[in-house]
Structure 1
Amino acid sequence: MQKPLTAYPAGSVVRIAGIDGGRQARARMLAMGMTPGCPVKVLAGGPTGCRVQVRGSEVVLCCGLAGKILAVENNSDEGPHCSCCPDAPRAKAS
């Protein structure tokens, strides 16, 4: 189930499922490397904002922007999967 990034506690590893925002918010997130399917570790979170680790960098997001990022548990089958990130789950061979 997709939830805003602000809903996950510190220590959670989640995967970006989508960005529920306009063109400017989406462009800003993509520029920071927060692409759909990318794993993100929540370092500190809550309703006032989030500090996350994405692609080896720490990023601090205000509550408005963090609330627009929809995420799923990293081990969930829901949502897109990234194949370029080192922590991304690999596709299973058939």
Structure 2
Amino acid sequence: MTAKDIHNHLSKLENDARLNVWHFALLTAILTLAARQKQSKTINVSRRKLMALSHIKTLPSYHKYLRELQELEIIKYTPSYNPGYKSEVELLV
């Protein structure tokens, strides 16, 4: 994922009044991991990494904003309950 791809994803959502700063923080964290992994659609994520990159400090807040991004159909989150495998996030926008 390039800087242009990241810009394109964020610009599609910048006028969405349903999103707040914490949604964008989480999206930016997801896009950062996508760029590091050189992925554009399906990104391997961990809760610890996403919380650190987005500066979300509490589990309830993290889960709330991740759930809302799913409900708004911005991402598709597929959790992994196996500690050996990371969860996946698919960008839908």
TM-score normalised by the chain length of structure 1: 0.30
More strand, by proportion: 1
More helix per residue: 1 or 2?
A: 2
